[in-house]
A and B are shown apart, each in its own frame.
Chain A
């Protein structure tokens, strides 16, 4: 549990090294708001290790979602670079799964069709695709809901389907943009445990955006605390507690209090 204050230095290794999961180098981003240029991110540098569960935590307006969108390739940085598994991010890719706060399933497709949609570049035969979708439906616990339309699902179930869709093409990294933010606390707690289970089962890198300190501390191997105006990294906190963790663990509670205090 080492708290490193201040800006992390740029990685010493060459940029775009394939062994690091994610490399963000001196990234800045501005937005135009009523003819004013507002800086959303200011020279952010960060390295995410392969297989890590990393959370971007911070108040609204700190640019954490913008940062994630740039990892996904949905936005492009104005300055700096982003590379995922050695490849510079230029556009969205199925090799980087993403889940948003709202499920964004296509409302006119069934759960099965929605998940299958992300397999069109997989090179699998139709039967293999069907098998893969069934496997995912089982993985996220949606058995029996293959033919349900999104409007027939609860919020938690829709999010499970969205996670399945993101995982279908076997990405090495899963990007989560406040995926549990709109759920009630019981569903939320259950899905947090599911996320850990999926992360351990699939052995993938997870970068999650959240504003829930407890969620960040409970799930992550590292928490990146961000501050706003302009958005930058305030501190990075290693959470090397063994799993499975207990929410009531004194060390977790202490960490949560520390982070909350630093955010005030």
Chain B
């Protein structure tokens, strides 16, 4: 890296004896084995590393929300790679690895990426994802060439850009109001403030353009202007964060916290807050785990954010796997319960005096979703006092159970009548669809069906359609 960035070495940053060879191999730039070095460092440096991680991740997470909502997450990824020539040229012009020249160069290239992608896909023959891929890989390659050739005599290592040196960034400090503040923290704090300002000032414009760009343009809030402003912000923030934490963490923070928040909330302000919280948590927990396992800090932060996303995929109440599994189970239970009730009702109808063996009830309950669900369903029916165990080994409907069952059978037979009247199906084709739909027909639909069919008394098989529940068992 740029020699003037290296602080007067306090402890030696050289490799330590006993360090695994692969880690030395991974180490980048003029400084070897940054991880081992930083991890052995003081609490003070640890706190600054976390602070730097947070200051880099939160602005990425905020802007990432809009990228994810606009289904442009990969454009963020593309821009964060494509800015490399901007960094390189800015560096060549100014000679400094951080500063306005680099940020401006990167913002320009970032907007160029968005523009070129758009132009290429406007050609018609190049799909948008392909044109994005072409543009960002080409620009990234140009950046690598510029760095390795034109900047050969300068100590700028492409590896630094990729992996980042968050461990070292915290050490490269200078005093601010008597406090030792890492240099890159100042830049990131500014990026964070700028991002919060951008999102606050353009809140209405950003949400309108993200939701409905056509309406935005139609009412005079140009979707194009907002789009490029967002792209410029993404480019600027990514570049500032690159220098501090490296591109792997930046790309992760652009997408993962926002995608996690999208699973967890359905209000935009909450989504931004949750995404920021995920970023903060990733930085803090990631650092601790990296210290614990003596591994790359930026890598660990990204891994933690991935872990948080995975837990949201599993645990999100509405959109998560657990939530859905729970809803499915609840539905299976309801269907099993209702099947038992309806079968008991029919059995009672056929021969009111003959008891139903509890074995048959178990069979009915298990027929749709298996024995376990069936057993739970029967237990629930007893707990709700819909069925009772009669005499020896037989079950019967209770009063409330019979009311429930009557409605189900009424739904079933009304639906059979409806199908037979309107679709001209043969009688043996009526039962199955009615069996499926009876669980979903409420009183309103029953009334409508009944009215439509002129209040029939019997279904197509000649069985009585029970009247709508009156509650007197």
A binds B: no
